[in-house]
């Protein structure tokens, strides 16, 4: 029997969604507790990343009970520092009172991480950045981003903080926009409890190779977690895993395995028009197939092809593992 990794999902996978066209939503609103129940019905999930604050009227004790009832635990907590209140930034907001409010929310999320026994506070500063040339002083903006993260993480030395970078959206240009820039910023922060959550789709549409980005972060000891999904490379579509870039997701997981990285394989998907449970199960079906394909990968032949930078030989090795194309 194959020993699969643990699978997880952002709880927002089971939420309902709106966009600028269907402003009334693609489904009925769901509470935190209802989303947890849906996550539990997938069957293969063991952990979830929860948004904080929870939906109105839902308390921490109720969340604990709901997770336990579904056989789930929390891997992370994501404070909602990207909503309308922080539309001009969280760490980088020009209003110091708004910056302080964002920090207070993140401090609260840190306490929730402790209460739930989760692994990290995930920081997705989606509103930190700029939209127009000359809108900001880039040096000042970067200092606010770095100093704010330092202030937050230094207040909780017992916890890990994982920055999820993204090139753009909702800001036209986000401050934490790439693996390399995240590494530079964390080096400036100078604390050993700040790392990165690598989102496969963010890396793709940011022009990176997700496998290369993962290797870079691992080399610096900064890969705290990862999310997987897919997109058409022009936007953060958050499609089901492996539906577009099957070879690149395979290389991504190969890179993780070769480095002994054994974290959770976590979904970050937005099934606007699909059933969220069906989308999660379909993704996990693909992830299990990829895991089995890694076992079939002829590492000796791959190393030989890579040493010669022989693209076609490497592709044949990958095809044999993924597609069962080997000719006897």
Specify whether the CB–CB gap between 82 and 90 falls below 8 A.
Answer: yes
Looking at residue 42, what is its pLDDT?
98
CB 270 within 8 A of CB 11: no
Domain containing residue 130: CATH number: 3.20.20.150
Domain that holds residue 283: 7-296
Residue 275 shares a structural domain with residue 152: yes
Residue 2 lies in a domain: no
Q: What tokens were used for 24? A: 């009334």
User: The whole model's pTM is what?
Assistant: 0.96
pLDDT reported for residue 20: 85
CA–CA separation, 29 vs 73, rounded Å? 23
What is the model's pLDDT at position 25?
A: 87
The CA distance from 323 to 246, in Å, is 11
Question: 150 and 277: one domain?
Answer: yes
Q: Minimal CA–CA distance to 109: which of 152, 58, 57?
A: 152
Query: Of 13, 9, 11, 7, which Cα lies nearest the Cα of 33?
Result: 11
Tokens of 232: 């058409």
Whole-number Å distance between alpha carbons of 147 and 139: 12
Give the pLDDT confidence score for residue 328 in this predicted structure.
45
Angle at 116 between CA 111 and CA 122, to 5 degrees: 65
Shared domain check, 270 and 308: no
> What value, to the nearest 5°, has the Cα angle with vertex 46 and ends 161 and 2?
115
Q: In the chain, which stretches have pLDDT less than 50?
A: 328
**Co-location of 318 and 193 in the same domain:** no
Q: What is the DSSP letter of 119?
A: S
Check residue 27 and give its pLDDT: 85
* pLDDT one-digit tens code per residue, 247-273: 999 999 999 999 999 999 999 999 999
Return the structure tokens found at 324: 């069962």
Question: Is residue 159 in a domain?
Answer: yes
- Reading the block at residue 176, the tokens are 């934490």
Separation in Å, CA 264 to CA 67, 103, 115, 253, 312: 17, 27, 20, 12, 32
294 in Cβ contact with 257 (< 8 Å): yes
Note whether residue 66 is domain-resident.
yes
- Alpha carbons 153 and 195: distance in angstroms, whole number: 10
Q: Token digits for 197?
A: 């959550």
Is 1 within the bounds of a domain? no
Q: What are the angstrom distances between the C-alpha of 293 and each of 114, 195, 304?
A: 37, 29, 19
- Looking at the fold, whether 221 and 137 belong to one and the same domain comes out as yes
Cα–Cα distance for residue pair 82/51, rounded to 1 Å: 11
Same-domain check for residues 60 and 209? yes
- 247 and 312 housed in the same domain: no
d(CA 121, CA 163): 9
Number of domains in the chain: 2
């Amino acid at each position: 029997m194959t020993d699969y990794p643990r699978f997880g999902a952002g709880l927002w996978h089971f939420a309902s969604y709106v966009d600028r066209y269907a402003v009334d939503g693609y489904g009925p609103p769901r509470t935190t507790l209802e989303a947890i129940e849906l996550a539990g019905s997938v069957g293969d999930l063991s952990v979830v990343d929860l948004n904080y604050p929870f939906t109105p009227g839902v308390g921490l004790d109720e969340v604990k009970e709901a997770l336990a009832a579904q056989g789930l635990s929390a891997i992370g907590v994501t404070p909602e520092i990207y909503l309308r209140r922080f539309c001009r930034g969280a760490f980088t907001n020009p209003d110091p009172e708004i910056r302080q409010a964002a920090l207070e929310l993140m401090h609260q999320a840190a306490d929730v991480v402790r209460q739930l026994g989760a692994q990290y506070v995930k920081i997705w500063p989606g509103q930190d950045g700029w939209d127009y040339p000359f809108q900001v002083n880039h040096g000042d903006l970067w200092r606010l981003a770095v100093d704010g993260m330092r202030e937050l993480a230094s207040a909780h030395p017992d916890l890990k903080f994982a920055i999820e970078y993204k090139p753009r959206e909702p800001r036209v240009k986000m401050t934490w926009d790439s693996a390399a820039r995240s590494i530079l910023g964390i080096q400036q922060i100078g604390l050993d409890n700040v790392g990165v959550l690598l989102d496969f789709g963010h890396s793709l549409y940011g022009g990176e190779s997700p496998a290369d980005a993962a290797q870079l972060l691992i080399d610096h000891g900064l890969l705290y977690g990862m999310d997987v999904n897919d997109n058409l490379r022009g936007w953060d579509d958050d499609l089901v895993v492996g539906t577009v870039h099957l070879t690149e997701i395979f290389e991504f997981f190969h890179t993780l395995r070769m480095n002994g990285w054994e974290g959770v394989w976590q979904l970050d998907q937005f099934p606007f028009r699909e059933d969220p449970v069906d989308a999660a199960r379909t993704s996990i079906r693909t992830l299990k197939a990829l895991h089995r394909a890694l076992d079939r990968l002829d590492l000796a032949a791959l190393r030989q092809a890579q040493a010669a930078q022989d693209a076609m030989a490497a592709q044949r090795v990958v095809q044999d593992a993924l597609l069962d194309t080997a000719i006897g």
